[in-house]
Amino acid sequence: FLVSDACGCVCATLTYVIALGTAFLVDVYVLLPRMTGAAQHLQAMVYNYVILAMLVAHIRCMCTNPGTARDHLEEDLQAAMRSEYLSQRSAESPDVQRQAGFLKGRKWWCTKCDTYRPRRTHHCSTCRSCVLDMDHHCPWVNNCVGWRNHKYFLLFLLYAWLGCAWSMVALGYALMHPPEPKLWQASEYALE
């Protein structure tokens, strides 16, 4: 379930560039120069696991169908509801239209998708479908956040927050405490 939205594709690509670029900087300039013991190796492994888990959650959120209303009902039931909608819509009495929800209240039929809309379902103009339990359309995952991919979106946010906080602390520590030069590096500087 991939959306071909130009803004969403740019944002999703930018997500990978920023995440992998930051992970590269932290690995090369912070973690690798300080690899002296098992604790530093463990820290590097856990940090890279968090970044990998963030990217996997992003891919799962981006590629999972958020749950569309059209997939929710069988075709026979959909056809019966369509005919009921059309008969109520063409009714001349305002009382019938008010009871059907045309004059005021929740719209139960989406004319853009030509499908029934259950409660908490909204039409997304970017995805061009009605999404069940729609939270929002997120350009960073280039998909709607809905009923089926809400878990992956929350995992993506959690791992992104952990990765950002860890990167910020690691880069701040590296700026405040530069690594000691190795013996062979110190002798080269002394000779110059």
For 5-37, the pLDDT digits (tens) are: 888 899 999 999 999 999 999 998 888 887 788
Active-site entry in 61, 124, 130, 138: 138
- pTM for the full predicted model: 0.76
Token pair recorded at residue 102: 């045309």
Beta-carbon contacts of residue 167 (< 8 Å; ≥ 6 apart): 22, 23, 25, 26
Q: Are 123 and 112 within 8 A, CB to CB?
A: yes
Token pair recorded at residue 184: 């062979």
Beta-carbon contacts of residue 166 (< 8 Å; ≥ 6 apart): 26, 47, 50
pLDDT score recorded for residue 106 = 56
Q: Please indicate whether residue 28 or residue 185 has the higher confidence score (pLDDT).
A: 28
Token pair recorded at residue 158: 């959690």
pLDDT tens per residue, range 101-153: 555 555 777 778 877 777 788 888 888 888 888 889 999 999 999 989 999 99
Helix, strand, coil percent values for the chain (each to nearest 5): 60, 10, 30
pLDDT score recorded for residue 54 = 97
pLDDT score recorded for residue 10 = 93
d(C-alpha 14, C-alpha 17), whole Å: 5
**How distant, in Å, are the alpha carbons of 17, 51, 69, 99, 114 from that of 161?**
16, 10, 32, 47, 39
109 bridge partner residues: 116
pLDDT score recorded for residue 99 = 58
Residue 180 has pLDDT above 60, yes or no: yes
Pairing state of beta strands 121-124 and 129-132? antiparallel
Is 130 known to be catalytic? no
pLDDT tens per residue, range 64-104: 989 887 777 677 766 777 677 766 666 656 665 555 555 55
Residue 52 has pLDDT above 80, yes or no: yes
Candidates 128, 127, 119, 116; CA nearest to 75 is: 116
